[in-house]
Amino acid sequence: MNRSAGRRRRTGTGSKDPGVLTAENARLLKEVQARTQSLQESLEYQTATSEILRIISSSPNDAQPVFDTIARSTARLCRAQFCHVFRFDGELIHFAASHGVRPEGVEAMQSVYPMAPGRGSAASRSIASGAVEHIPDVRADPDYAHGRTAKIMNYRSIVAVPMLKDGRPIGAIAMSRSEAGRFPDRQIDLLRTFADQAVIAIENVRLFEAEQARRRELTESMEYQTATSEVLGVISRSPSQLQPILDTIVEIAVRLCQAENAVIFKLEEGKFRLAAARSANAEHLELLLRDPPRLDRGSVAGRAALECAPVHIPDVTLDPDYAMWGAQRLGKYRTMLGIPLLREGVPIGKRLNWLPPSRTRRSSPSRTCACSMRSRHVLESWLNRSESSGLLARSGRRSARHSSSRRY
């Protein structure tokens, strides 16, 4: 008996009340459950992070899938009412992605963005400060400017984490809840991780686009060099003829500039005359032969000759000075680019490109202007060399007969 009591004293079991044991067991159970929950959250966070990294690697040219996944994962893992992702272009904040928002909430958000950084929202504060910004209760925050939106979307607390690239804000991630209060540090850390991944996605897209632009530039340079060599080849094969060179230039202009039509006008004694053309519309060209552009601002040809500089009209139907409506109806063009042919700064001709109506709004003149300028320099160089021989004048008298009898 004494031995048994001694063992109980050494183990301590004899000194504890059954109620105390029950409380101790409950405490240990809670600790195990808390650790299990923490491990489960860590696994979920790692899984979400891995998913975003996978999307980043599979979408190097588009950050939108990454933004959508971040918004969805944040709302789910942090049990937030919604999550928003914003982009910052250096001046304005743009609404980029969202999850958990009803249609009326989306409309409310779209009505207030883009907006400048400031203290009107958690995201704008975060971008302005470059730090995490909490608003425990938007109803009690005197600087919060979206009370109407909060009422429509039924949220009280909100937190935002900035996306930082080399210490410079390029966006933010914000999440909210319907209850007032601060968000746990663990969830803030998750938002920081997602913000870092969003920065990676944005940077990948920037690098991808820069590489694509470099490749396009190299490809265009090769095309331009090939075209220049082609024109020079025609010059060497036809040292006494101008017309083959003009015809080659308009053919190359249509191909390289992705234009629908291209023509060259010569300016003689203050009047334009059609010298070469590439067009699928014979009626349009016949009209240009009968009634060429005048030396005024009513046409691209006249405007470029008067200004001695390239002229681009994105949409002639919206240009108040354009007046060649008969040619426009037959040619069915909207966008025009005109390049003057200059000798010692004096216009001697004009080259026109027409882009098809389908590309009127989204076409940029940069590519068209670049190839037009290169072929212009080649033509002007040849014209300057041929001037002393009188070839230009002789070719000019023949080109009118050639143009009128040629099938386009």
Tokens of 163: 């996306």
Confidence at residue 227, expressed as pLDDT on a 0 to 100 scale: 81
Question: By three-state DSSP, how is residue 218 classified?
Answer: helix
Total Cβ atoms within 10 A of residue 301? 29
Confidence at residue 219, expressed as pLDDT on a 0 to 100 scale: 86
Helix (H) or strand (E) holding 133: strand 133-135
What parts of the chain have a pLDDT lower than 70? 1-17, 19-48, 280, 349-408
Compute the distance between CA of residue 20 and CA of residue 380 in angstroms, rounded to an integer.
Answer: 102
* Greatest pairwise CA separation for the chain in angstroms: 136
Matching fold, domains 14-207 and 238-405: yes
Q: Which amino acid is at 40?
A: Q
Q: Which amino acid is at 221?
A: S
The residue assigned the tokens 């109407």 is 148
Task: Using alpha carbons, select from 256, 228, 221 the residue that is nearest to residue 382.
Answer: 228
Confidence at residue 396, expressed as pLDDT on a 0 to 100 scale: 43
Compute the distance between CA of residue 187 and CA of residue 198 in angstroms, rounded to an integer.
Answer: 16
Helix (H) or strand (E) holding 255: helix 243-256
What are residue 121's phi and psi, to 5 degrees?
-150, 165
Indicate the Cα dihedral angle 14, 19, 23, 26, nearest 10°: 100
**Interstrand relation of 82-88 and 168-177 (parallel, antiparallel or unpaired):** antiparallel
Confidence at residue 390, expressed as pLDDT on a 0 to 100 scale: 43
Confidence at residue 93, expressed as pLDDT on a 0 to 100 scale: 94
Compute the distance between CA of residue 6 and CA of residue 14 in angstroms, rounded to an integer.
Answer: 10
| Topology given in CATH for the domain delimited by 14-207 | Beta-Lactamase (3.30.450)
Crossing angle, helix 243-256 and helix 185-237, to 10 degrees?
Answer: 160
pLDDT digits (tens, 9 = 90+) for 127-148: 999 999 999 999 999 999 888 8
pTM (two decimals): 0.58
Total Cβ atoms within 10 A of residue 295? 17
Task: Using alpha carbons, select from 352, 353, 350, 342 the residue that is nearest to residue 383.
Answer: 342
Helix (H) or strand (E) holding 312: strand 311-313
Confidence at residue 19, expressed as pLDDT on a 0 to 100 scale: 65
Our CA angle for 16, 21, 24, nearest 5°, is 125
| Topology given in CATH for the domain delimited by 238-405 | Beta-Lactamase (3.30.450)
Q: Are 274 and 268 in contact (CB under 8 A)?
A: no
What is the per-residue DSSP string for 178-191? SS-SPPPHHHHHHH
Confidence at residue 354, expressed as pLDDT on a 0 to 100 scale: 56
Tokens of 339: 């390049």
Confidence at residue 45, expressed as pLDDT on a 0 to 100 scale: 62
Domain boundaries, the chain: 14-207, 238-405
Confidence at residue 388, expressed as pLDDT on a 0 to 100 scale: 39
First to last CA, the chain: 122
Tokens of 144: 């919060």
